[in-house]
A = this chain, B = another copy of it.
């Protein structure tokens, strides 16, 4: 006993994410992850309960990596919102295979809450009434996630990058407009 650990949960998730990014979700098998770590597949089960647990871990890692800037005081709510939305899209493009899984789990983890708080903060800053903040956050996040997932999952495969950039900017304008219409002036 006291045998030095050669891998840990973080290493497992890191290897799995690298495979997912490079070869897609189907390539993420216990065997492939193990091989990358120079270990047998069975060794993974000490650090991950199951393959489903491994995928949950990947989703959590995406959320953790998602850079939501600490609110800069010199920028307004609409810049804060746009920054969070753009960071979300960047994360989607960096991890196209894993990102769509975000639609499958309620945002209950610590890092998910961080992202939500950032958006809710922007909404309050904009002047959205307290009792409308959480519904508004859900719908705003849904639109942003829906776009980002569509883009990386393939629904927009026929559209150019330039077109998608323009679509996304228009989406941000719309969201800003809607939020303003929601405030007392």
Chain A residues close to B by CB (< 8 Å): 100, 102-108, 135, 138-139, 142-143, 145-147, 149-150, 153-159, 166-167, 170-171, 174, 177-178, 181
Contact = CB atoms under 8 A, between A and B. Distances in A.
A84 to B, nearest CB: 16
Is chain A's interface secondary structure helix, strand, loop, or mixed overall?
helix
Contacts of A145: 146, 150
Contacts of A106: 154-158
12 contacts: A100-B103, A103-B150, A106-B158, A135-B167, A138-B159, A139-B147, A139-B171, A142-B147, A143-B143, A143-B146, A145-B146, A178-B178
A97 to B, nearest CB: 11
Contacts of A149: 103, 146, 149
A167 B142 CA distance: 11
Given A145-B146, A146-B146, A166 B105 contact: no
Nearest to A100: B103
Contacts of A147: 139, 142, 146
B174 A104 contact: no
Nearest to A146: B146
A170 B107 CA distance: 21
A98 to B, nearest CB: 14
Contacts of A108: 158
Nearest to A132: B170
A32 B139 CA distance: 38
A135 B103 contact: no
A12 to B, nearest CB: 22
Contact of A102 (B102, B155, B156, B170): B155
A178 to B, nearest CB: 6
